[in-house]
Structure 1
Amino acid sequence: MENQEKPERTEVPISVKELIIKKHKDGMSLRAIGSLVGRTYSTIQTVISNYNKTGSVKSKQRSGRPRVFTDHEENLIVRRVLKSNGYRNCRARKKLFISERNRKERLNFAKLRLNYDKSFWSKVIFSNESKFNIHHNDGPIKIYRQPNTAYKKQNLVGTVEHGGGGVLVWGCMSAAGLDILKNNLQESAVKLGLNGSYILQQDNDPKHSARLVQE
């Protein structure tokens, strides 16, 4: 079903405003006045409120030139202009935000190796890891609470014995394909067809840059 456009707002004629004020002074309810003049409850409220502030039913003079197009017409014009200039209504793509420093370092890394041939990349293994907790994440959970209510049920986070446990998954990939590791890197290298020498490419996570890991 197509969306129906909402009707444009129209100015209430002065004669109708005068009738609204008269009936209001006569004690008629706002809803009854709305039914009488064919206007919404909010419109009746606005007319009476403006009258109480200014003492007049005349609309305040607006500054600037009067509008040429309605909201609906302006929306159609903008759509046509965008379409004629090659713009399309598309769903935004999702991408992980990274810091400006890492963005520059990654770009420099790619530029330095832009002209490397396939024989080089066929000997590179890229790796990464991710931890999956069974119960909940490792980070602190923040809540808003009043003083001296820390141990109320609604302010507690459930835990399990020994933290619930988790699994650290480590995997790697090369030009020949990818492999999720179960035992060690060497087995993966054999599975990927890299039986001889190869280059292990890791990120700069602290667990990789530690001296013991480098050794």
Structure 2
Amino acid sequence: MVGRSKVTESLRQQVVQMKAKGMTLSAIARQVGRSKSVISKILNLYNITNSFKSPKKAGRPWKTNTREDRILRRISMGSRFHTAAGIAHQFSAEQGKDLSHHTVSRRLRAFGLKAHSAVTKPLISRKNQKARLSFAEEHVVWTEENWSKVHFSDESKFNLFGSDGKHYVRRQTG
């Protein structure tokens, strides 16, 4: 279902002025491009409150305040590879307030810290970089015949660091 744009204060004023001029609900609705029920609600609300402001919306208040949001952000920025569940656990240990990983994830996204898939690449140490470079320099003059005697195998898979699972990193959007 597609939502409509919000009813602005200026539109509310316009509707009330049109009604004061004696226009019908149908005529006002056609002119402003809204349904008769919306026009009726605007006029009823104005008659009750005598104000053009939209009423305060109901809803559950956030579980965290601004200070706790800053703490969540600090924990996340401290190690960008922390999961939302890990951050929630650390927050609970530090602050004594339990948060679900869904809440943590929502609050971090609100500050623009979105979880992205981490780039997967093998760790190549300085020692390994030097060994690769020396190998390349030694074998740069080899011919195709020399290389045809070498058997390359990529059948074996070795996990040197961590698991194969998907890893996420939090990055600032924008």
Q: Smaller-chain TM-score range?
A: 0.3 to 0.5
Query: Which structure is higher in strand share?
Result: 1
Query: Which structure is higher in helix share?
Result: 2
TM (normalized to structure 1)?
0.27
Whichever of the two has the greater Rg, that structure is: 1
TM (normalized to structure 2)?
0.33
Relative CO higher for 1 or 2, CA cutoff 8 Å, sep ≥ 6? 2
